[in-house]
């Protein structure tokens, strides 16, 4: 028996933006540019089709005398890539030289500090930290949408409010490794992406904190709006789950709270 197909069935699905919730039916909303879930400058190769051009541009643009979210992500993680691969003797080693707009690196003691022009700016480290945190949530939601197609759910509106519209504040905990070793595979630096395997998906489904692993670093971020009601129990649970892998779960307040230069590995 022949099946009948309507023209509606053949029409492509209308694109809707993950961030502003507007669709391409609005003449002002377009989806022409590639939206990398992780900045292309950091090796990001995966795209989220549900990001409109306006929101995509927003994450790459400076605002209110602050650097853009994507620039802050690049500044931090490029430092980690440099510290990880700078000793490799390869002609193709793109990480040997470290260039930063805001920081200078002391290779001897693996520390970085603000360049003088920025060190005199009151609250600059805290401002960078806020942009960085917003960037992690941006990566999380776009990767979650790309891999599961569930990022549009209203339960994630609190992430949209923070990452896209700079409203309220959300906690991010940096997990300092116990052992002086950076565990990674090179593909994580070449084509980075987040992991949403069954155990992590279960944490999201059960309204727990998600452990976001990227460029050898580990972070804990809330996946539900009312995180403040249960976050202490979630942190305790995370410490048990990781069974002593980390010596500290540090609430990020300053950009230098994240060990981008891998000081935990010693020298």
pLDDT in tens, the chain (267 residues): 455 544 445 456 789 999 999 999 999 999 999 999 999 999 999 999 999 999 999 999 998 889 999 999 999 999 898 888 865 554 444 555 678 888 888 777 777 788 888 877 889 999 999 999 999 999 999 999 999 999 999 999 999 999 999 999 999 999 999 888 887 777 788 889 999 999 999 989 988 899 999 999 999 999 999 999 988 898 888 888 888 899 999 999 999 999 998 888 875
Give the residue from 82, 54, 59 showing the smallest Cα distance to 72.
59
Q: How far is CA 20 from CA 26, 157, 249, in A?
A: 12, 10, 32
Give the residue from 233, 255, 56 showing the smallest Cα distance to 172.
255
Distance of alpha carbon 199 from alpha carbon 241, whole angstroms: 11
Distance of alpha carbon 208 from alpha carbon 9, whole angstroms: 38
- Look at the pTM and tell me if it is higher than 0.85: yes
| pLDDT of amino acid 64 | 82
| pLDDT of amino acid 181 | 81
| pLDDT of amino acid 155 | 96
Distance of alpha carbon 222 from alpha carbon 232, whole angstroms: 11
Q: Where are the domains of the chain?
A: 40-265
Give the residue from 175, 174, 172 showing the smallest Cα distance to 159.
172
Question: What residue spans of 66-178 are helical by DSSP H?
Answer: 69-85, 116-119, 124-148, 157-163
| pLDDT of amino acid 94 | 59
| pLDDT of amino acid 128 | 94
Distance of alpha carbon 103 from alpha carbon 78, whole angstroms: 11
């Amino acid at each position: 028996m022949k099946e009948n197909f309507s023209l509606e069935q053949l029409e492509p699905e209308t694109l809707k933006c993950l961030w502003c919730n507007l669709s391409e039916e609005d003449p002002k909303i377009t989806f022409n540019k590639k939206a990398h879930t992780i900045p292309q400058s950091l090796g990001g190769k995966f795209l989220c089709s549900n990001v409109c051009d306006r929101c995509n541009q927003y994450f790459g643009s400076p605002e209110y005398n602050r650097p853009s979210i994507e620039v802050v992500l690049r500044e931090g993680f490029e430092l980690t890539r440099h510290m990880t691969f700078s000793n490799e003797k390869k002609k193709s080693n793109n990480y040997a030289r470290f260039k930063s707009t805001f920081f200078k690196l002391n290779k001897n003691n693996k520390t970085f500090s603000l360049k003088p022009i920025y060190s005199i700016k009151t609250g600059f480290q805290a401002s960078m930290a806020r942009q960085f945190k917003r960037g992690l949530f941006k990566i999380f939601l776009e990767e979650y949408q790309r891999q599961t197609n569930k990022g549009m759910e209203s339960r994630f509106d609190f992430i949209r409010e923070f990452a896209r519209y700079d409203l309220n504040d959300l906690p991010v905990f940096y997990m300092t490794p116990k052992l002086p070793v950076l565990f990674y595979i090179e593909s994580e630096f070449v084509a980075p992406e987040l992991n949403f395997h069954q155990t992590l998906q279960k944490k999201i489904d059960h309204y727990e904190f998600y452990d976001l692993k990227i460029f050898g670093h580990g972070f804990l971020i809330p996946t539900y709006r009312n995180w403040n009601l249960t976050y202490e129990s979630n942190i305790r649970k995370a410490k048990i789950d990781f069974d002593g892998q980390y010596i500290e779960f540090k609430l990020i307040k300053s950009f230098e709270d994240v060990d981008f230069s891998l000081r935990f590995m010693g020298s």
